[in-house]
Amino acid sequence: MKKSITRALLAASVSALAIPAVAETMLIANEPGPNRGVRAQAVNYIAEQIAERTDGEVTVEQNWGGALFKTSAALQSLGLGVADMGVIIGAYSASEFPELQMAGLQLKPAHPWVMMQAMYELFTTNEHLQQRMEDMNIEYISTYSLTPGIMACSGDGIRSLDDVPGTKFAHTGASTDIFGELGGNLVAMPIYDVYQGMETGLVECSVTYAYYAVASKLSELTDTVTDLHFSSLASLATVMNKDTYDSLSPEVQETIKQVGRDAMNFYGEELVTADIEAMEELTTGEDAADLIELTDAEYARMQELVQPSIENWKADMSAVGSDGDALMAELYALIDKWTKVMETEGLPWERS
């Protein structure tokens, strides 16, 4: 989808000569979340930088809160051109695009910035993935990471794995599967509906992220926070409809790709800062939630319970003609590569 807005610039002269029109391209974009919080800052950054770096030749009209389509329909909608650009989340396209959901599993621990760089390189260099996205009619632009998940609960919460059976959990992605294995009641819903679900008593607990709990005001309903010792995830991406992308000049295409690369550094710095501040807000002060640590044995048990999710993911990969083991090995190698970059050169915003 592309809106072309034509402006005729008239020069004042004796004969009122018409100057050739200048065409602008407006990209229609969809973001599933609200216009607040750290990812919203990154989404706005991408839009602002595209306009600035193209001197207004390309602008972005952003729609928030999934105004154009539901989170679960994002992949198909962007491929069809319902919007030109938008965020897709691996958990809501796990069967159609399991390659993206790979970074939504509890795999090798890594810094959020490292996870973004590893996923970005994988998705922009792997030939099989390039063909898969060609078939889905999308172009990969940028990656968003999540900080390690926490369990936010109203009431007594999860102070031990013995508290899981019978507790109502918002099932927002694969990270919640282990609590179903332990006897919890899983209620499927997007993460954006968790506040309402907890407010009405439909759910009691949800795997979430400190910065998001504060941004979504879930913190107002949270009485306990259980540290899950989870790894960082990076199964969210900004993509473009490929027809729209291909219609742009090579110069504009490269500008958008560079904005996508720069956005990961911008977002990484904001994410780390926001998460530290959010954890302080959640666990200190007059209305602080109780911060709970499980035992070493319980954390080990949780690691065992993630294996069924990984096996299910491998089955989804096979169903779309992809090799789960090979792609995971490639991701792990890239995680090692970018971890070394971080350790030797530092994070981009910390370099002198």
Whether the predicted pLDDT of 116 surpasses 90 = yes
Q: Are residues 68 and 186 in the same domain?
A: no
User: What domain range includes position 202?
Assistant: 150-230+289-308
pLDDT at 286: 78
Whether the predicted pLDDT of 19 surpasses 70 = no
φ, ψ of residue 4 in degrees (nearest 5): -110, 120
Whether the predicted pLDDT of 17 surpasses 80 = no
Distance (Å) of CA 218 to CA 207, 225, 233: 11, 12, 20
Taking only the tens place, the pLDDT of each residue in 247-268 is 999 999 999 999 999 999 999 9
66-80 b/e with 16+ CB inside 10 Å = b?
Answer: bebbebebbbbbbbe
Sequence letter at residue 262: D
**Mean pLDDT along residues 111-119:** 97
Taking only the tens place, the pLDDT of each residue in 20-31 is 444 689 999 999
Q: Are residues 180 and 74 in the same domain?
A: no
**What integer best gives the mean pLDDT of the chain?**
92
In a domain, 217, yes or no: yes
Question: Cα dihedral angle (174, 105, 88, 43), rounded to 10 degrees?
Answer: 120
**CA quadruple 261, 266, 270, 273: dihedral sign:** positive
In a domain, 314, yes or no: no
Output the domain CATH number for residue 96.
3.40.190.170
Whether the predicted pLDDT of 232 surpasses 80 = yes
Whether the predicted pLDDT of 86 surpasses 60 = yes
pLDDT at 2: 43
Q: Are residues 48 and 116 in the same domain?
A: yes
Least confident segment among 14-18, 109-113, 227-231? 14-18
Please list the helix, strand and coil fractions of the chain in percent, rounded to the nearest 5, in that order: 50, 20, 30
Q: Are residues 173 and 259 in the same domain?
A: no
Q: Are residues 257 and 339 in the same domain?
A: yes
pTM summary value: 0.87
Q: Are residues 163 and 130 in the same domain?
A: no
Q: Structural domain tally of the chain?
A: 2
pLDDT at 5: 35
Percent of the chain at pLDDT > 70 equals 93
**Mean pLDDT along residues 3-14:** 35
Q: Are residues 248 and 226 in the same domain?
A: no
Q: Enter the DSSP assignment of 218.
A: G
pLDDT band at 325 (very low <50, low <70, confident <90, very high): very high
pLDDT at 23: 62
20 or 52, greater pLDDT = 52
Q: Are residues 157 and 266 in the same domain?
A: no
**Mean pLDDT along residues 272-288:** 90
In a domain, 188, yes or no: yes
**Mean pLDDT along residues 146-162:** 95
**Mean pLDDT along residues 271-278:** 94
In a domain, 313, yes or no: no
In a domain, 272, yes or no: yes
Q: Are residues 195 and 210 in the same domain?
A: yes
Taking only the tens place, the pLDDT of each residue in 164-219 is 999 999 999 888 999 999 999 999 998 889 999 999 999 999 999 999 999 899 99
Q: Are residues 302 and 216 in the same domain?
A: yes
Q: Are residues 96 and 202 in the same domain?
A: no
Q: Are residues 91 and 45 in the same domain?
A: yes
Whether the predicted pLDDT of 6 surpasses 50 = no
Residue 339 has, within 13 A of its CA and on its CB side, a CA count of 10
Output the domain CATH number for residue 224.
3.40.190.10
